[in-house]
Structure 1
Amino acid sequence: MKTLSKLTTALLAAGALCGGVYAASNGLDAKAETRPLFNDKRPIITPQSLPGGAYDPNGDFSNDPNPKIEHLFLPWEDVDLSTLSTADDYARKRGRSLLITIEPWSWASNWRVTPTDLLDGILAGRYDSNMTAICSAAAKLNAPVTIRWAQEMDEKNGQFTWAYWKAEDYVKAYRHAVTVCRKSLPTAKYMWSPMGKDGLEAYYPGDSFVDVVGLSVFGYQPFDQHKLGRDSTFVEATKPGYDRVKRFKKPIVIAELGYQGDEAYVHAWAEDANKPHSEFPDLKAVVYFNDREVYPWPDGLGRPDWRVATPPLLN
């Protein structure tokens, strides 16, 4: 689970990490239930690379000078906001900005309400205090902040409550949440972040509510082989979503990147992910999702493990 307490533990533990070298793994685990003991599959960064970042609850990027963005995930219920200051201090010492994804629910699944009740509550202002609490806390931070609210609304796999809403209702809710947050946090940038699916255009809330567009891009070799009969590339996986959002003429960031496969597959993705590509002139940064997938993928393909190292890399 993407918990702030888990992040805080990782941040506090990061100071104890020491140098180490880990060999790349061989072999493909089709269901991602086991991992090679040692592996380092962080994106390959060169002087020409796009800025990188990471959601990094395991601290694998703690001593890595390359990431420029620290990604946090928060539910807007049952969250301890006092630990945001720890994350801010951690990011600031490393010269990183903060990308804060706010998920409009509780991470305790038995506390969640129906899609209709959540939507009605947002539009009626019953969750304004939740949004205000997070944005007021973020306003006290020193690192630059980008707010990403209710991501991947166009992904219809049943993972997110807000993905059940009609597009026009999502737009109303997004606008309401951003309007509330701006009262406390006018200096932040606001990221609208679809998965990249066909039809995402209907969910666009308008230029005045979007400073940057996010995308999610994942490469999972068992899925590629199952669906395509071959491996996919980073460019191939990114292009459909990128082409759908470039019409909005906003800076584009891959807010969640992950890949898993055999050594050749991982190396190809790691080499390409932060490389400038002529196909993506508006792509400004790539942020790695350094954790295991929360939900299993379809067709019995298991839970992909995007982590760059297990056990955590001592970098």
Structure 2
Amino acid sequence: MKVKVIWGAAVLLFLGLLVFFVTRFTSLLKPRTDTINLLDTAFQERLEGYFNRRDTSLTPPRLQYLSVRLYTGTSEKQLAAVFKGLNPREGLLLTLLTEEEGTLKNMIEGSFDNALTELCRALPSGIPVYLRWNPDMEVPVKRFPWQYQAPADYIAAFRHMATRCRKERPSLKIIWSPAGYPGTEEYWPGGDVVDVVSISMNGQSERESTAYPPEPDRRGALRRKILRTRFMDKPVFLLTPSADSTYNWRKDLAAVARQLRTDSALIFQSTARNKAASRTAGTLPVLGVYDPNLGLTGSEAVKTEHLFIDLGTIQSGKFAREFEAVVRRGHQAIVTVEPWRDSKIRKDSSVLQNTEDGVYDEEFREFFRIVAAARQPVYVRFAHEMEIPIHRYSWQSKDPVLYIKAFRHFMQLGKDVKQVRKIWGPAGDRGSMEWYPGDDVVDFVSIAIYGLPDKNITDPAKQESLETIFNRKAWRMKLAAKPIFITEFGVKGPDDFQATWMENAARVIARHPEVVGACYFNLADNPGVWGNMPAPDWAISRQTFDRFVQVLREN
């Protein structure tokens, strides 16, 4: 009997606590939809200027600003209260934030559809409305749940949002709003769902990021941000923090606009935007090796050999000898031309400017003369890995427009050599397309794939797979719409680890017909660039390479 009484009391106590919890805390579990919580202060920015490659005006439309949080349960009534009091004679730039966890997935799945409908109904009529959703998506920080997300997910969510809002409010102007950080183009949702691009200066997300060094001055930063929108043929709004209201951004914008228009034919080239050409079904990609020790060149599968040359090797005749040796072995050549290590007294620090100015034309003409003697295609890659913000090479960490001019000058010198296949060779890092020199001087895009995601990693098992790296880098190249030639790839570690990695790599390459060539780097890396750490040795055995070829053929 006593046990029953105690049990009954426990049940009553539990029920009492449950009722208390429900009445006291349920409101905290519901989406916050009250008017106060809809207003946001994270994006206190104003429209300072306007850039359009198709006109010379810098004066933006006169707008008022509002930043609002949207929840799945937000109603038209609540939003109407927020919009009450707006000036009926000025347009509205509305920054819309969906801050709930999983916001991209929820948007794609339609969880916000009703709230978007309510929003469009609540928007003031009779004035132009510009809608800006979840800005600064490309900045690699985690201030907001839409940052540090897969570009494909952000794009799908953005397109869903824009399509839904345009259906409800056809007059709405949709703004795509990156900060203008390196990697901006990875998140481009497409011109059919974007009316205006905006970039922001000195935003909080960008101030928190340490992934890339900042530009030395505001004008330089503004120019680079606009450059990163070069493939988006849309007007660009310049947004600045309200705290910067005393700074004359319009003056900087005018100066930058003059610079960009001077080089507009190079910068604002249209790209094919079509699916890249691919190899014929059932055929292998062109297989090659960088193999100075000739450990793999005897394989019947090897069709190309990779040569790295510089000004000095052209001047000394070493390139001619090495190239002729490759031809005698019955192979094609991939030649990476590094415009430095000049044996003449000329500054290596100015190699891109020297290239554009024709300082090295004698050496480059000799290079193309040697190449023209070959009867087979020669893949020519100039000044590779230019986008990495380091100083390993003299052409890195330089102005993209200067690089473009230098690349085009070099390739124009060989335009009549029919054997040349022109390769543009970024590493495939963030922001690569800022350096894209143009469809007319590029036949193939190359990327480099090495297993180490970080040079400080010494454990081979922590290397990334070729598939992981390829997917990331190929996505960054999609605006170029060119076939991909993997001109360098490698993996370090014990033989069994290398063998497994290479087998998986073969399966991935086989699945991607846009990969028309792959060249293995069969040597240790340059020890001079690894500091106190031993340089990774990418060399593999002939057995591992033969198995790679076998798996490639089987798939």
TM-score by length of 2: 0.43
Of residues 492, 501, 504, the one that matches 1:272 is: 504
Superposition map of 1:150-165 within 5 A: 150-165=383-398
Deviation of 1:270 after TM superposition, in Å, equals 1.4
CA–CA distance in structure 2, aligned partners of residues 112 and 217 of structure 1: 33
Moved more, 299-308 or 59-68: 299-308
Of residues 97, 113, 116, the one that matches 2:332 is: 97
Judging changes above 3 Å, is the alpha-carbon distance between structure 1 residues 243 and 227 closer, same or farther for their aligned structure 2 residues? farther
Confirm or deny: 8 A CA contact 1:233 1:268 kept in the other structure. no
Deviation of 1:118 after TM superposition, in Å, equals 2.0
CA–CA distance in structure 2, aligned partners of residues 305 and 107 of structure 1: 28
CA–CA distance in structure 2, aligned partners of residues 153 and 192 of structure 1: 10
Alignment-mate amino acid for residue 218 of structure 1: Y
Judging changes above 3 Å, is the alpha-carbon distance between structure 1 residues 119 and 220 closer, same or farther for their aligned structure 2 residues? closer
Of residues 347, 352, 365, the one that matches 1:113 is: 347
3-state secondary structure, aligned to 2:401: helix
CA–CA distance in structure 2, aligned partners of residues 92 and 66 of structure 1: 16
Deviation of 1:224 after TM superposition, in Å, equals 8.2
Alignment-mate amino acid for residue 427 of structure 2: M
Superposition map of 1:49-128 within 5 A: 50-79=285-314, 80-81=316-317, 84=320, 87-88=323-324, 90-91=326-327, 93-94=329-330, 96-106=331-341, 113-115=347-349, 117-128=350-361
1:204 aligns with 2:436: yes
Match of 1:286? 518
3-state secondary structure, aligned to 2:376: coil
Match of 2:399? 166
1:308 aligns with 2:543: no
Deviation of 1:76 after TM superposition, in Å, equals 2.0
CA–CA distance in structure 1, aligned partners of residues 500 and 538 of structure 2: 15
CA–CA distance in structure 2, aligned partners of residues 140 and 98 of structure 1: 12
Q: CA offsets, 1:144-173, max 9 Å, x none?
A: 211111111112232110012111111111
Q: CA offsets, 1:244-294, max 9 Å, x none?
A: 113211110110111102344312221123334577341111101122211
The structure with higher relative contact order (CA 8 Å, sep 6+) is: 1
Confirm or deny: 8 A CA contact 1:70 1:91 kept in the other structure. no
Confirm or deny: 8 A CA contact 1:171 1:205 kept in the other structure. yes
Deviation of 1:210 after TM superposition, in Å, equals 0.1
Confirm or deny: 8 A CA contact 2:341 2:348 kept in the other structure. no
CA–CA distance in structure 2, aligned partners of residues 277 and 298 of structure 1: 29
CA–CA distance in structure 1, aligned partners of residues 326 and 541 of structure 2: 21
Moved more, 202-211 or 155-164: 155-164
Confirm or deny: 8 A CA contact 1:221 1:260 kept in the other structure. no
Match of 1:8? none
CA–CA distance in structure 2, aligned partners of residues 238 and 303 of structure 1: 23
CA–CA distance in structure 1, aligned partners of residues 422 and 400 of structure 2: 19
Judging changes above 3 Å, is the alpha-carbon distance between structure 1 residues 114 and 74 closer, same or farther for their aligned structure 2 residues? closer
Judging changes above 3 Å, is the alpha-carbon distance between structure 1 residues 85 and 208 closer, same or farther for their aligned structure 2 residues? same
Confirm or deny: 8 A CA contact 1:224 1:231 kept in the other structure. no
Match of 1:239? 471
Unpaired segments ≥5 residues, structure 1: 1-46
Alignment-mate amino acid for residue 81 of structure 1: G
Confirm or deny: 8 A CA contact 1:195 1:215 kept in the other structure. yes
CA RMSD of superposed structures (Å): 3.1
Deviating runs (4+, > 4 A) in structure 1?
221-229, 276-279, 296-300
CA–CA distance in structure 2, aligned partners of residues 262 and 131 of structure 1: 41
CA–CA distance in structure 1, aligned partners of residues 460 and 290 of structure 2: 29
3-state secondary structure, aligned to 2:517: strand
Confirm or deny: 8 A CA contact 1:85 1:141 kept in the other structure. no
Match of 1:215? 447
Alignment-mate amino acid for residue 242 of structure 1: A
3-state secondary structure, aligned to 1:67: coil
3-state secondary structure, aligned to 1:61: coil
Confirm or deny: 8 A CA contact 1:217 1:238 kept in the other structure. yes
Deviation of 1:177 after TM superposition, in Å, equals 0.7
**Higher helix proportion (structure 1 or 2):** 2
3-state secondary structure, aligned to 1:253: strand
Q: CA offsets, 1:14-43, max 9 Å, x none?
A: xxxxxxxxxxxxxxxxxxxxxxxxxxxxxx
Confirm or deny: 8 A CA contact 2:285 2:518 kept in the other structure. yes
- Residue identity over aligned pairs, in percent, reads 25
Match of 1:29? none
Alignment-mate amino acid for residue 250 of structure 1: K
Alignment-mate amino acid for residue 159 of structure 1: R
Moved more, 170-179 or 65-74: 65-74
Alignment-mate amino acid for residue 384 of structure 2: Q
Alignment-mate amino acid for residue 101 of structure 1: T
CA–CA distance in structure 1, aligned partners of residues 355 and 472 of structure 2: 31
CA–CA distance in structure 2, aligned partners of residues 214 and 67 of structure 1: 18
Judging changes above 3 Å, is the alpha-carbon distance between structure 1 residues 82 and 233 closer, same or farther for their aligned structure 2 residues? closer
Deviation of 1:189 after TM superposition, in Å, equals 0.9
Of residues 486, 493, 500, the one that matches 1:261 is: 493
Judging changes above 3 Å, is the alpha-carbon distance between structure 1 residues 267 and 129 closer, same or farther for their aligned structure 2 residues? same
Deviation of 1:131 after TM superposition, in Å, equals 0.7
Q: CA offsets, 1:216-248, max 9 Å, x none?
A: 111149858569994421101222111111321
CA–CA distance in structure 2, aligned partners of residues 215 and 186 of structure 1: 24
Confirm or deny: 8 A CA contact 2:376 2:419 kept in the other structure. no
CA–CA distance in structure 2, aligned partners of residues 227 and 59 of structure 1: 28
3-state secondary structure, aligned to 2:478: helix
Moved more, 73-82 or 205-214: 73-82
3-state secondary structure, aligned to 2:497: helix
Match of 2:426? 194
Deviation of 1:306 after TM superposition, in Å, equals 1.4
Match of 1:33? none
Deviation of 1:51 after TM superposition, in Å, equals 3.3
Alignment-mate amino acid for residue 65 of structure 1: E
